[in-house]
């Protein structure tokens, strides 16, 4: 996107508002799944970073090890959140016509 297209978008608030509404709709439909323990724990988050699903392989529970389970759940959640941030960042940058989006917009600080 060149400067004239950016100025045109800024000069047409309705078009900009519509693009942002579309981006918000896409974000609401976006999901990401993270895993840990070689896929033994899988967590799915929606675009609002709410957990919508969790899968735990039976072998993680036998024998019961609450510390290991907690570590795997935390790792799978962090993996899903990182994937979701990356997806939202990419999608929002596209919706903004290539304008740079702050890397910490969705939390988690700057990418490493």
Q: Quick one: pLDDT at residue 24?
A: 81
Greater pLDDT, 93 or 39: 39
Within 10 A of 47 (CB to CB), how many other CB atoms are there?
19
Q: How far is it, in rounded angstroms, from Cα 20 to Cα 14?
A: 10
- Residue 112: band (very low, low, confident or very high) from pLDDT cuts 50, 70, 90: very low
For residue 3, what pLDDT is reported?
66
Banded pLDDT at 72 (limits 50, 70, 90) = very high
DSSP code string of 2-43: -HHHHHHHHH-HHHHHHHHHHHHHHHHH-EEEEEETTTTEEE
Q: Is the dihedral of CA 56, 60, 66, 67 positive or negative?
A: negative
- Of residues 22 and 77, the one with the higher pLDDT is 77
In angstroms, the CA 11 to CA 30 distance is 29
Mean pLDDT calculated for residue range 84-112: 70
Residue 32 has pLDDT above 50, yes or no: yes
Q: The pTM is what? A: 0.75
CATH 3.40.50.300 fits 3-95, yes or no: no
């Amino acid at each position: 996107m060149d400067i004239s297209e950016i100025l045109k978008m800024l000069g047409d608030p309705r078009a900009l508002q519509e693009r942002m509404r579309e981006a918000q709709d896409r974000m609401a439909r976006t999901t990401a799944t993270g895993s840990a323990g070689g896929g033994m724990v899988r967590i799915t988050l929606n675009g609002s970073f709410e957990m919508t699903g969790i899968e735990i392989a039976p072998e993680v529970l036998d024998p019961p090890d609450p510390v290991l389970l907690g570590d795997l759940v935390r790792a799978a959640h962090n993996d899903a959140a990182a994937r979701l941030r990356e997806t939202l960042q990419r999608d929002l940058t596209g919706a903004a016509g290539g304008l740079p989006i702050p890397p910490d917009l969705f939390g988690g600080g700057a990418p490493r």
